[in-house]
DNA sequence: ATCCATGCAAAGCCTTTGCACCCGA
DNA sequence: TCGGGTGCAAAGGCTTTGCATGGAT
């Protein structure tokens, strides 16, 4: 984890930038990236900066107003075990371990019956707190 | 998609670098990133370059010898709909649409019974080919 | 009046790429 | 031999950050 994203109880100011970003995002279902949001928002606020867009996307996601897709750490990791399996990620320390549960293969067929995409696979990642971080949290308490 | 990763039928040479990367990766279960693999491999091949590690991780993953975790595009996207739901990603054009299926909430409880992590959530993404790309593929055939 | 938010530009992090040389099959 | 592979360094894409100024409450 590179960034502090704890939902500390600070009041959010509803600036024009923040409001417009939220409004624009809610008007589309295209799941845009930051740059794309920047482009959309700039039509209404020509002087907004890309940094502000990034910062507000962070803030709004932390506040639960919008959802961040493609979560997980920024770097890509590799697994010497090519067998298909799921992982559990610790949201505190970003450690990743194998999940000892079966892959839900029938789920894909289920989704296939409800979409016009040709489904080829799925990825699933569990998130939680690892024992080590849990313990550290307990010590501080 | 930024990169051509089609499994064209080119024979892979088993160079020392490639072999050592594969061996090292199979000896650990820590799901290392590229830089970390670089560090591990360099103990045995001090002159290997980071670029070679990246290239070989790509090749090995494409060949199915190892698995790439944290798949999906490099940029992060945002969803104006904060309601929990899954997405389907087109592996050709990277387009993302909402999946009209229920979130598998009970799955977390199932995993919880088999791990010492405290499970807090999960993310699931379906992958496939969107109708548009499917059509384009048909035209070329 | 406070103090969070913004704009701008620079820096950062991870990854990819161009190029000349190298080497495995 | 010969076409893929490697090392090196430079470039690239996306994101974050430092700093002075601005603006919401």
The pTM assigned to this predicted structure is 0.90
Interface residues for strand D (CB within 7 Å) are A 2-3, 11, 13-16, 33-35, 50-51, 54-55, 58, 74; B 10-13, 15-18, 45, 47-52, 55-56, 59, 74-76
CA B4 to CA B110: how far, in whole Å? 38
What pLDDT, on the 0 to 100 scale, is given for residue B36? 97
Phi and psi at B39, nearest 5°, equal: -60, -45
What pLDDT, on the 0 to 100 scale, is given for residue A10? 60
CA A29 to CA A51: how far, in whole Å? 23
Q: Which of B30, B120, B123 sits opposite A129 (nearest CB)?
A: B120
What pLDDT, on the 0 to 100 scale, is given for residue B42? 98
CA A124 to CA A106: how far, in whole Å? 14
Contacts of A124 in chain B (CB under 8 A): 122-125
Crossing angle of helices A50-62 and A16-27, in 10° steps, is 70
Q: CB–CB of A56/A44 below 8 Å?
A: no
Q: CB–CB of B85/B103 below 8 Å?
A: yes
Sequence-ordered alpha helix ranges (H) in B63-104 = none
Contacts of A79 in chain B (CB under 8 A): 25, 31, 66-69
What pLDDT, on the 0 to 100 scale, is given for residue B88? 96
CA B127 to CA B72: how far, in whole Å? 9
Q: Which pair of structure tokens corresponds to residue B125? A: 């993404």
Q: Which of B38, B133, B114 is nearest to A75 (CA)?
A: B38
Confidence of residue A1 (pLDDT cuts 50, 70, 90): very low
CA A42 to CA B50: how far, in whole Å? 39
Instruction: Tell me which residue has tokens 């009041």.
Output: A11
Mean of the pLDDT values across residues B22-26?
98
User: Is the pLDDT score of B116 beyond 70?
Assistant: yes
Min Cα distance A112 → chain B (Å) is 10
What pLDDT, on the 0 to 100 scale, is given for residue A133? 94
What percentage of chain B has pLDDT greater than the value 90? 82
Q: Which nucleotide is nearest to A53 (CA to C1')?
A: C6
Using DSSP, state whether B18 is helix, strand or coil.
Answer: helix
Tens-digit pLDDT profile for residues A113-133:
999 999 999 999 999 999 999
What percentage of chain B has pLDDT greater than the value 70? 93
Tens-digit pLDDT profile for residues B50-103:
999 999 999 999 999 999 998 877 789 999 999 999 999 999 999 999 999 999
| Interacting residues of A36 by C-beta distance below 8 A, sequence separation 6+ | A30
Q: CB–CB of A1/A73 below 8 Å?
A: yes
Task: Look at A59 and A5; give whichever has higher pLDDT.
Answer: A59
CA A136 to CA A95: how far, in whole Å? 15
What pLDDT, on the 0 to 100 scale, is given for residue B6? 39
Confidence of residue B10 (pLDDT cuts 50, 70, 90): low
Confidence of residue B7 (pLDDT cuts 50, 70, 90): very low
CA A10 to CA A4: how far, in whole Å? 14
Report residue A139 CA to chain centroid gap: 29
Sequence-ordered alpha helix ranges (H) in chain B = 16-27, 34-42, 50-62, 105-112, 131-140
The per-residue pLDDT of chain A, averaged, comes to: 91
CA B88 to CA B71: how far, in whole Å? 13
Task: Look at A11 and B65; give whichever has higher pLDDT.
Answer: B65
- Separation in Å: D8 C1' and B41 CA: 18
Tens-digit pLDDT profile for residues A77-95:
999 999 999 999 999 999 9
Task: Look at A70 and A39; give whichever has higher pLDDT.
Answer: A39
Q: CB–CB of A59/A51 below 8 Å?
A: no
Mean of the pLDDT values across residues B23-28?
98
What pLDDT, on the 0 to 100 scale, is given for residue B4? 37
Confidence of residue A5 (pLDDT cuts 50, 70, 90): very low
Confidence of residue A71 (pLDDT cuts 50, 70, 90): confident
């Amino acid at each position: 984890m590179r960034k502090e994203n704890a939902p500390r109880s600070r009041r959010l100011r509803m600036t024009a930038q923040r409001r417009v970003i939220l409004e624009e995002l809610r008007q589309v279902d295209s799941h845009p990236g930051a740059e794309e949001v920047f482009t959309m928002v700039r039509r209404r606020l020509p002087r907004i900066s890309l940094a502000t867009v990034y910062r507000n996307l962070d803030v709004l996601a932390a506040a639960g107003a919008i959802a961040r897709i493609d979560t997980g750490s920024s770097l890509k990791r590799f697994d010497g075990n090519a067998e298909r399996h799921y992982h559990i990620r610790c949201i505190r320390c970003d450690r990743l371990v194998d999940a000892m549960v079966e892959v839900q293969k029938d789920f894909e067929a289920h989704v296939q019956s409800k979409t016009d995409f040709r489904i080829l696979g799925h990825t699933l990642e569990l998130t939680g707190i690892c024992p080590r971080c849990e313990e550290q949290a307990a010590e501080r308490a």
